[in-house]
């Protein structure tokens, strides 16, 4: 035998030398839930270890995130009052707007991305304005753009539309540019599937649709070319970063997307992925650390440059400890 792949697996040093995928804390983004109210830090039952924080409690978590060496957070807002118009999504004193103003004051070195969507703010839980039982695409665009602008005015460094309406990236880009925010990037949830993996999130954000489902706007998971179409449209509309979501069940899409765009690609390891690992860990059936490392590296190996994960703090520690890297 001349060719023996095991020669390059002989010890840690040589294995590290030929490693193909390098993981860095700089690529991690930590999603957080901020709610209206005061003095509250409540654990999300389906996402053990993740909490809804009021603005005054959010600081402690931002400190932990920052101490772990994670520099980017993605903020989701949970308003006290939801209505048909999603008015708290763009209210000047809305939960995200207040959170941003305060967080930027106390932790100016962190980078703040906001999820731009209406499902957390509508009384019916759909991601847009309703006309009868349908989500009205073009009416929704105006509200999304207004919401994104209000986030940026409150201090968001980047906005991330996750609603899956047609034309939302352009609508947001136009309004930001008209207001001189030409340098604020848009990370588009371009390849977002109608997925059962969001269930714990909807519990966390109290955003489950009160009727129907999200299949008229999020994508059918049987399709991959449709995802590519979304990527190309969003690139044309001015997206700066393309996101694939969920991550674990869509690794093929991360790789395919990399082939068709030169934009950076992010992957979102969503609430259901987190919940499954947590639940199996609690049962003692898997080793949490090993599974978290392996699934994260899988997303990077597939081609992601950045990774949104509820395990960001833990991953940062694993990287520090040399468990992955």
| Binding site residues, ligand PBG, CB under 6 A | 115, 117, 119, 127, 162, 198, 201-202, 214, 270-271
Q: Which is nearer to ligand PBG, 62 or 267 (CB)?
A: 267
Q: How far is the CB of 119 from ligand PBG (least distance, A)?
A: 5
C-alpha 180, offset from chain centre: 25
Q: How far apart are the first and last CA of the chain?
A: 32
- Which pair of structure tokens corresponds to residue 255? 């790789």
Catalytic (active site) residue 245:
yes
As a residue count, the chain comes to 325
Crossing angle for the helix pair 55-68 and 312-320, to the nearest 10 degrees: 20
Q: Which is nearer to ligand PBG, 3 or 208 (CB)?
A: 208
Q: Which is nearer to ligand PBG, 314 or 323 (CB)?
A: 314
Q: How far is the CB of 63 from ligand PBG (least distance, A)?
A: 23
Q: Which is nearer to ligand PBG, 96 or 117 (CB)?
A: 117
For 242, the 3-state DSSP assignment is strand
Q: Which of 192, 258, 278, 313 is catalytic?
A: 192
What lies within 8 Å, CB to CB, of 214 at 6+ separation is 126, 127, 164, 194
Q: Which is nearer to ligand PBG, 32 or 184 (CB)?
A: 32
Compute CA distances 44 → 23, 93, 165, 271, 310, whole Å: 28, 24, 28, 11, 12
Task: Tell me which residue has its CB nearest to ligand PBG.
Answer: 201
Q: Which of 25, 245, 258, 278 is catalytic?
A: 245
CA-nearest of 228, 116, 226, 106 to 168 is 116
Cis status of the peptide bond prior to 187, with omega within 30 of 0: no
Q: How far is the CB of 13 from ligand PBG (least distance, A)?
A: 37
CA-nearest of 302, 184, 284 to 246 is 302
- Whether 80 contacts 123, CB under 8 Å: no
Q: How far is the CB of 240 from ligand PBG (least distance, A)?
A: 18
Q: Where are the alpha helices (DSSP H) in 206-311?
A: 225-237, 251-260, 271-282, 288-302
Q: How far is the CB of 212 from ligand PBG (least distance, A)?
A: 12
Q: How far is the CB of 5 from ligand PBG (least distance, A)?
A: 38
Catalytic (active site) residue 192:
yes
Q: Which is nearer to ligand PBG, 204 or 257 (CB)?
A: 204
d(CA 325, CA 54): 34
Catalytic residues, by residue number, are: 192, 245
């Amino acid at each position: 035998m001349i060719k023996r792949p095991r020669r390059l697996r002989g010890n840690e040093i040589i294995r590290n030398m030929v490693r193909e995928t390098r993981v860095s804390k700089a690529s991690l983004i930590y999603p957080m839930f901020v709610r209206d109210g005061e003095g509250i830090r409540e654990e999300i039952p389906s996402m053990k270890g993740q909490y809804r924080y009021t603005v005054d409690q959010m600081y402690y978590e931002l400190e932990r995130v920052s101490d772990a060496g994670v520099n980017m957070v993605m903020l989701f807002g949970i308003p006290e009052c939801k209505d048909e118009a999603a008015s708290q999504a763009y209210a000047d004193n809305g939960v995200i707007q207040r959170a941003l103003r305060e967080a930027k004051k106390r932790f100016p070195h962190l980078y703040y991305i906001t999820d731009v969507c209406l499902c957390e703010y509508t009384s019916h839980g759909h991601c847009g304005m309703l006309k009868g039982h349908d989500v009205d695409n073009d009416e929704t665009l105006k509200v999304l753009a207004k919401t994104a602008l209000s986030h940026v005015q409150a201090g968001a460094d980047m906005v991330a539309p996750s609603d899956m309406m047609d034309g939302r990236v352009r609508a947001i880009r136009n309004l930001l540019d008209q207001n001189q925010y030409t340098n604020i990037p848009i990370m588009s949830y371009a390849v977002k599937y109608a997925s059962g993996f969001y269930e714990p999130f909807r519990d966390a954000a109290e955003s489950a649709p009160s009727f129907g489902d999200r299949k008229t706007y999020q994508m059918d998971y049987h399709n991959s070319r449709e995802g590519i179409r979304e990527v190309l449209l969003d690139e044309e509309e001015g997206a700066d970063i393309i996101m694939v979501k969920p991550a674990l069940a869509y690794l093929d899409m991360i790789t395919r997307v990399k082939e068709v765009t030169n934009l950076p690609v992010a992957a979102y390891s969503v609430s259901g992925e987190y919940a499954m690992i947590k639940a199996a860990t609690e049962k003692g059936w898997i080793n949490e650390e090993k599974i978290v490392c392996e699934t994260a590296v899988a997303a990077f190996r597939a081609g992601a440059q950045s990774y949104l994960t509820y395990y960001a703090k833990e991953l940062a520690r694993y990287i520090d400890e040399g468990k992955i890297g």
